[in-house]
């Protein structure tokens, strides 16, 4: 019988890899809660018109990348979510979430895009998403970026840069769009077929082109920041002041446009060049018209999505993610009973303990203890069970590096204290 394999671009996460995932998830959720964000979740499947209306029908996501299908039972057009914001806004409108005032939320979940798998971006990938509903000023824009700078520090990443831009309001973008079309029409021979196709539908996306000839043309393109009027300019200036006051470094990049049509005013990306070409690991912006666009009351909003797989590529493998404190080795009936009680007592004390299962000699069990990645092997035989003691053998240091340590005999009640005392 043919062996079945995973779908291309939809990857398994095995136990050794999942330790890094858990480390990341625990870190970002803890920091989000420190800033007053609460968890919110929406379905993986939504009605297709939600994404068409929110993201824009002439975007790459809607035109080429969505996994859409027709429900066999009732003929509804459904889509696997290609991003998280639209579904969360839909849920907020449906639940009247902002009735009592602004809210801050976060979410971790899978998203789906039918595109060529690439570095850190697959057909099923994960995002850490934060959203703020009901906040108008630049202070919450800055808060998101300050919080994200704290996340980078907490996970040990120091080679990302923050790039910011302002997309202005609808009127300012329409005026800029006219200037941009005129500019590109005068440089038509340098545009590739994709840029020409976008010229009269979504010309701002041409600014994000990766084609060499278009990149060169874009160096002379008009600057949207020059089209901002007083209110949008004040918002953008206020954001820059708040970031400077917080000590968060940034650069202004007028070419940031983002991939969804719902963005206005603030747009930003955290970019790394660790892998050669610039790679965006986190990006988002303000979407003050999205609630109305989806049938809700006028509600300002801002949020971002962080590509989890791309961030995990940047977290050092040497960190001891979710390291097991101890592996409990035992042989003999009395030792088995004593080991079971000891394991539960150590878990009550807050330690992570794996108890050997399946029998075998002390030698074979010690091999499994070493393979488990635990910091200590705890050894209980019938003699130790009778004496109420445990042999404690160090296997690794706090960073997960193997060590050759002296074995100590400890009374059962003192094992947790002993483990915590060893640096």
β-strands 251-252, 160-166 pairing: parallel
The domains of the chain, with CATH numbers, are 15-168+247-314 (3.30.930.10), 172-227 (no CATH), 326-421 (3.40.50.800)
72 burial via Cβ count (<10 Å: 0-12, 13-18, 19+)? exposed
pTM recorded for the entire structure: 0.83
Q: Which two tokens stand for residue 262?
A: 């719902």
Q: How many CB atoms lie within 10 A of CB 166?
A: 28
Sequence-ordered list of residues with C-beta below 8 angstroms from that of 193, at least 6 positions apart, any chain: none
Q: Which 3 state secondary structure label does DSSP give 154?
A: helix
Q: How many CB atoms lie within 10 A of CB 117?
A: 14
Q: Please give the pLDDT value at position 227.
A: 82
CA–CA dist 346, 417 (Å, integer): 10
233 burial via Cβ count (<10 Å: 0-12, 13-18, 19+)? middle
Q: Please give the pLDDT value at position 386.
A: 86
Total residue count of the chain as it appears in this document: 423
Q: Which two tokens stand for residue 160?
A: 């990302």
> How confident is the prediction along the chain (423 residues), in pLDDT tens digits per residue?
888 888 888 888 888 788 889 999 999 999 999 999 999 999 999 999 888 888 876 667 777 788 888 988 898 899 999 999 999 999 999 999 999 999 999 999 999 988 776 766 788 999 999 999 999 999 999 999 999 999 999 999 989 999 999 988 888 888 888 888 888 877 777 778 777 787 777 777 777 777 788 788 878 888 888 888 899 999 999 999 999 999 999 999 988 877 666 788 899 999 998 887 888 899 999 999 899 989 999 999 999 999 999 999 888 765 556 678 889 999 888 888 888 888 898 898 888 888 888 888 888 988 998 888 888 889 898 888 888 888 888 888 877 778 887 788 888 668 888 888 775
């Amino acid at each position: 019988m043919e062996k079945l394999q995973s779908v291309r671009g939809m990857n398994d996460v095995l136990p050794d890899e999942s330790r890094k995932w858990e480390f990341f998830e625990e870190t970002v959720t803890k920091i989000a809660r420190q800033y007053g964000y609460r968890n919110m979740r929406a379905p993986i499947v939504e009605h297709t018109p939600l994404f068409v209306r929110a993201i824009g029908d002439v975007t790459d996501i809607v035109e080429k990348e969505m996994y859409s299908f027709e429900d066999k039972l009732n003929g509804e057009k459904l889509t696997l979510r290609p991003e998280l914001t639209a579904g969360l806004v839909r849920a907020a409108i449906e639940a009247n979430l902002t009735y009592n005032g602004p809210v801050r939320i976060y979410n971790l979940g899978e998203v789906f895009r039918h595109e060529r798998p690439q570095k850190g971006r697959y057909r099923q990938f994960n995002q850490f998403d934060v959203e703020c509903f009901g906040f108008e000023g630049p202070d919450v824009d800055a808060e998101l970026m300050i919080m994200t700078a704290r996340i980078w520090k907490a996970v040990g990443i120091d080679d990302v840069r923050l790039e910011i831009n302002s997309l202005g309001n609808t009127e300012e973008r329409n005026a800029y769009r006219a200037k941009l079309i005129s500019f590109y029409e005068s440089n038509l021979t340098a545009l590739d077929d994709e840029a020409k196709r976008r010229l009269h539908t979504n010309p701002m996306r041409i600014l994000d082109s990766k084609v060499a000839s278009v990149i060169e043309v874009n160096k002379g393109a008009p600057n949207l920041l020059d089209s901002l009027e007083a209110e949008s300019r004040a918002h953008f200036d206020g954001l820059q002041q708040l970031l400077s006051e917080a000590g968060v470094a940034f650069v202004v990049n007028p070419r940031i446009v983002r991939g969804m049509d719902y963005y206005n005013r603030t747009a930003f990306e955290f970019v790394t060049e660790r892998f050669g070409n610039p790679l965006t690991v986190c990006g988002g912006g303000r979407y003050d018209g999205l609630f109305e666009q989806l049938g809700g009351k006028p509600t300002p909003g801002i949020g971002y999505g962080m590509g989890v797989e791309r961030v995990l590529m940047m977290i050092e493998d040497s960190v001891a993610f979710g390291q097991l404190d101890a592996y409990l080795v035992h042989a003999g009936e009395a030792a088995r009973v004593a080991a079971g009680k000891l394991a539960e007592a150590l878990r009550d004390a807050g330690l992570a303990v794996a108890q050997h299962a399946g029998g075998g000699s002390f030698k074979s069990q010690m091999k499994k203890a070493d393979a488990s990645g635990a910091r200590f092997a705890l050894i209980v035989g019938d003699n130790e069970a009778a004496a109420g003691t445990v042999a404690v053998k160090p296997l690794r240091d706090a960073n997960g590096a193997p060590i050759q340590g002296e074995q100590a005999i400890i009374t059962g009640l003192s094992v947790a204290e002993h483990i915590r005392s060893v640096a």
